[in-house]
Amino acid sequence: MDRKRTVHQLDTPYSTVQWPQVSHEDQETILELLCSPWLTNSSSLLSPLGHHRRSFISPSKGKRAKRRKRKGAETDTAVDAVPPAPELAKHVDLGLASISRSLERIPAEISDESPLEPYAVVFVARSGQPSAFHSHFPQMVAVASKSVPGRQPIRLVGFSAACEERLSSSLGIPRVSSIGLREGAPQTKALVEFVREHVPPVDMSWFQEVKGGQFIETKINAVEVPVGTKKQKIC
């Protein structure tokens, strides 16, 4: 019989913030609206961004290649003009770090009357990556939503199925695990309305617990862990 011992660990006394529950069918519909053509011979919402990137933006080959290209450009007299990115690009943020920074800045942007609109929806591919990378999103989205009263709460969609490859292919980049879609983005009305109808806002009950001003005792967890075999000393 395996020996076990009890280990005590401190935990937050407040209620944990859970990801909104989204059914598998609704997740598939949201992915279809993001990545698949809505009508025959039409493009998906994200595909124009991927088409522009593949057509006019060369993949990065490192700093040395960039320096060589810069030296060669000094001798070139004609430079091909790159057309501007689709209008949607101004309303879309990609990557965990970029979206996290934007969520942090939302209270300041609202008070400073920034031209940037807050997010309407944040999409995160949770499958296939450690939870430490995205576990902060429910709290950050909930706090950011509290900073914009009078508006629809920011919706957080966590995809449980593997979909990074599908999102990356639509955007024309090697890898993407999160997408932030800002309020008022062009051609997103159907997607945003569907998400708001089928995905509830993030519930942050501990925020109300803190405002109540009641003392909450420290939470101590008692966890039983197996005891490993003691190594024998070799004389």
Whether residues 50 and 8 share a domain: the answer is no
Whether residues 3 and 22 share a domain: the answer is no
Choice between 113 and 142, residue whose per-residue pLDDT is larger: 142
Q: Is residue 63 one of the residues assigned to a domain?
A: no
Domain boundaries, position 210: 1-15+204-227
Whether residues 91 and 8 share a domain: the answer is no
Q: Is residue 73 one of the residues assigned to a domain?
A: no
Q: Is the pLDDT of residue 40 over 50?
A: no
Nearest to 19 by CA among 159, 155, 202, 166: 202
Given pLDDT bands bounded at 50, 70 and 90, which one contains residue 109?
low
Whether residues 124 and 220 share a domain: the answer is no
Q: Is the pLDDT of residue 77 over 50?
A: no
pLDDT (tens digit per residue) in 181-207: 999 999 899 999 999 999 999 988 777
Other C-beta atoms within 10 Å of 215: how many? 6
Q: Is residue 222 one of the residues assigned to a domain?
A: yes
Whether residues 107 and 219 share a domain: the answer is no
Whether residues 123 and 181 share a domain: the answer is yes
* Best-predicted range by mean pLDDT (65-74, 141-150, 196-205): 196-205
Whether residues 156 and 222 share a domain: the answer is no
- Residue 138: predicted pLDDT: 93
Taking CA atoms, 230 is separated from 1, 164, 225, 226, in Å, by: 15, 44, 15, 12
> Residues 6 or more apart from 13 whose CB is under 8 A from it?
216, 217, 218, 219
- Residue 60: predicted pLDDT: 62
Q: Is residue 81 one of the residues assigned to a domain?
A: no
Q: Model pTM?
A: 0.76
Domain count, the chain: 2
* DSSP H or E stretch at residue 64: helix 63-75
Rounded to whole angstroms, the Cα distance separating 199 from 207 reads 20
